[in-house]
Chains A and B, each alone.
Chain A
Amino acid sequence: MTLRLEDVSAGMELPTLAKVVTREQVRSYADASGDQNPLHRDDDVARAAGFPGVIAHGMFTMAHLASCLVRWLGDPGALKRLRVQFRAPVFIGDTIVAGGVVRSVDPSTRRAVLDVWVTVERDGTTEHAIRRSEAEVELA
């Protein structure tokens, strides 16, 4: 059931969604999306580009953010727009955490705009893989 307008207000935080990124997930994502860039498959290529090993696709991380939004919304069709900026690479073994906060709600259009992000936790440090990003959703 789709999240209802009366249940959403500015300042509300989304339940965060976390997962540990595995090599298998990234390989499956390469196959399913068709993005076979060797940076995501071959450690040697990734090291030559200055990374410690293969990196996850930016779109893999964006997909995780979309999953977080859909779980909150209860309906994939309620996600109307998602714009993200990729700010930092995600490595195998990293924990990515998607989250967001409602910026505004427009009762006349039943739409809400959210600030959204994905953080990366690695060796006790946290940085943003996705930040300064925005979602627009349609509420029931």
Chain B
Amino acid sequence: MPLNVARQGTTYPAISFLVEEDHVRRFASAVGDDGTFVSPTFVTAPELAAGLARVVADPDLGLDLARVVHGQQEYEWTRPVAIGERLTVRSTIESIRAKGGLELLTLRTEMRDGQDELVVVGRSTLIVRAPT
């Protein structure tokens, strides 16, 4: 079943994400950083919670996780994330397009701080294979 193109442009409800020291340390340890700083890609955790978790659970989109591979990922950081801050994280389906026998879904996720300043933008492109 193809993706529902009408869901393009959908913005999911924002989540509030507290950057906890223990979480930052566990992430650093998992990726091999020394834990003296917030790993730049720690932002994957809030991004997944606000974005991928929502698209997978979106009954109107028709995304089958078993057919999904991660094609492309981008982050643009205005500044590093700080321990103890609370981020507001909001994901939007930026595009849904067909390419060959595949479908590409691009999610754009904005993470803003308490002053509503942009901290990070994530852009994740999922490749959906045709059902076999």
Question: Which residues does A use to contact B, with CB under 8 Å?
Answer: 19, 25, 28-29, 31-35, 37, 49, 57-60, 62-64, 66-67, 70, 76-77, 79-86
Query: Chain B residues with Cβ under 8 A from A34's Cβ?
Result: 45, 48-49, 53
Residue of B nearest to A19 (CB): B32
Q: How far is the CA of A88 from the CA of B76 in the complex (A)?
A: 24
Query: Do A29 and B73 have beta carbons less than 8 Å apart?
Result: no
Q: From the candidates B23, B37, B44, B65, name the one contacting A76 in the complex (CB within 8 A).
A: B37
Residue of A nearest to B66 (CB): A49
Q: How far is the CA of A84 from the CA of B45 in the complex (A)?
A: 17
Q: Is B97 an interface residue (CB 8 A)?
A: no
Query: Do A59 and B44 have beta carbons less than 8 Å apart?
Result: yes
Query: Do B26 and A28 have beta carbons less than 8 Å apart?
Result: yes
Query: Do B48 and A63 have beta carbons less than 8 Å apart?
Result: no
Given A59-B44, A77-B79, also A83-B74 (CB < 8 A): yes
Given contacts A33-B48, A83-B75, 19 further A-B contacts (CB under 8 A): A28-B29, A29-B31, A32-B27, A32-B30, A33-B27, A33-B44, A34-B49, A34-B53, A57-B70, A58-B73, A62-B41, A63-B39, A67-B31, A70-B39, A76-B37, A77-B80, A80-B76, A81-B76, A83-B73
Q: How far is the CA of A62 from the CA of B6 in the complex (A)?
A: 31
Min C-beta distance of A37 to chain B, whole Å? 7
Query: Chain B residues with Cβ under 8 A from A85's Cβ?
Result: 71-72
Q: Is B87 an interface residue (CB 8 A)?
A: no
Q: Is B40 an interface residue (CB 8 A)?
A: yes
Query: Chain B residues with Cβ under 8 A from A66's Cβ?
Result: 31, 39-41
Within 8 A of A (CB), among B103-127: 123
Q: From the candidates A31, A37, A57, A67, name the one contacting B26 in the complex (CB within 8 A).
A: A31
